[in-house]
Amino acid sequence: TDADGTIVGYLWTSSIDGTIGTTASFSTSSLSAGTHTITFTVTDDDGAASAPVTRSLTINAPSNQPPTAVIDSISPSPAALGSTVTFTGHGTDADGYISGYLWESSIDGTIGNTASFSSSSLSAGTHTISLIVYDDDGASSQPVTLSLTVGEAQVEVILDNGSPGTSYTG
């Protein structure tokens, strides 16, 4: 209130975000995370400003949601030893974006770091393949896994024992 005139200006400021309002009351959802000192002053029609009124207000940063990993395909599966295997996956992040990938084999260790890649150097055996994705805030997904069997290449050996048509496949 102004005993000798009318209030004509309102100013709300934040120690972090600067001017945040210019009306008697307002709502906002855009304050930055941190502890703000909120200051309110009014100006009357003679240009006189009131003494500032201050309050402290803490805005907590939203918590980061971890991303989710998805293995789209591993092909072929099973695979012959030495054959090229293609791995394809993706991730989703509700509050950011995917910034990294980690593909691992229970036999060969780290085998890839992109959404899709191919490898022809997997060892023989039954691999547990896992994919973890990372988001832009550094959070990681839970690993998702699939099994991949890499077998010995089929070799046909022809035994020449003097008999025509004798062969062995192993």
- For 39-96, write each residue's pLDDT tens digit: 999 999 888 888 999 999 999 988 889 999 999 999 999 999 999 999 999 999 999 9
Reply yes or no on whether the pLDDT at 159 is more than 90: no
**Residues across the chain:** 170
Least confident span in 1-15, 22-36, 74-88, 95-109: 1-15
Using CA atoms, how far apart are residues 129 and 20, in angstroms rounded to an integer? 51
Q: What's the confidence (pLDDT) of residue 123?
A: 97
CB atoms within 10 A of CB 147: 12
Confidence of residue 165 (pLDDT cuts 50, 70, 90): low
Write down the pLDDT at residue 33: 87
Distance CA 100, CA 131 (A): 11
DSSP 65-103: PPPEEEEEEEESSSEETT--EEEEEEEE-TTS-EEEEEE
pLDDT at 76: 97
Residue pair 43/6 in contact by the 8 Å Cβ criterion: no
Percent of the chain residues past pLDDT 90, beyond the cut: 74
The first and second tokens of residue 98, run together, are 């995917």
Which one-letter DSSP state was computed for residue 3?
Answer: T
Secondary element (H or E) of residue 164? none
